[in-house]
Amino acid sequence: YIRGTHAEPDLRVLRRLIQENPLGMLTTAIKSPAHPFLQTSHVPFVLDVDDPSSATERGRLRGHMARANPQAKAAADSLAADPSLAGVLEHEVLVVFTRPEHHYVTPKFYVETKPETGKVVPTWNYAAVQAYGRARFYVDGKADETGAYLDKQIRDLTRHNETETMGYTGKDGNPDGWTVEQAPANYIELLKKAIVGVEIEIDRLEGKFKMSQEMGEGDREGVIAGMAAVGTDASRAVSDMVRERHEAAKAAKASKASKAAAAASS
């Protein structure tokens, strides 16, 4: 459920959240006599975007998972039973990405409303993105297509996380990152046999930044100050996000008013 005040419509912001937090929760609904209907796995993804500046492109997710994972087995069984699916699951899948900084919000932070009416309750502030689409599974370990997909995917995923997550850029005094080529080739080939690839063309991308936007300015300032005073890394990050979202909303409102005034004067 995404209230309008919490919705993030800018796909560029949503894509950036995925790229900065690539560990997604992949959920599938697959009818199977041997495995649960609903299954979820934590999978690190690469997000492919043809034009990073695009305000309309949703992108494509690439990942891999253990062949022994019951979720991968259910997908493989379903695809083997219906060759007409051509490797693509019949029903859409869901992948959820979240920022690591989230926090409980005590009503004590609502310094405006609590003293006046007492009509306040606790909540939780967080930011998340949900990606929906059809998933293609690469399960045939003998197929050239599967080998090529896994070769590219594991190298791209490694490169992204070594540089973006770890900061190993090889520049400005930072060390070079680890590369797949540093491991024995026969070892990598052996491990590839134990995984399957999953690729998702994103059909829908939805984001929610629940950062006290529904509260009045006084209560929001109370949340900002209260979170900062808690003193943990997570609480300080949430405090900063509440302030950023509040200031961005004010700037957007001022811009809209300015444009309306200019239109009226012309």
Q: What percent of the chain has pLDDT over 70?
A: 100
Task: Tell me how far apart the alpha carbons of residues 206 and 210 are, in angstroms, rounded to a whole number.
Answer: 13
Q: 39-58, pLDDT tens digit by residue?
A: 999 999 999 999 999 999 99
pLDDT confidence band for 152 (50 / 70 / 90): very high
Across the range 62-72, mean pLDDT stands at 98
Q: Is the pLDDT of residue 266 over 80?
A: no
pLDDT of residue 85: 96
Query: What integer pLDDT is reported at residue 190 of this predicted model?
Result: 96
H or E element that contains 147: helix 144-160
Q: Evaluate if pTM is beyond 0.95.
A: no
221-240: pLDDT as tens digits? 999 999 999 999 999 999 99
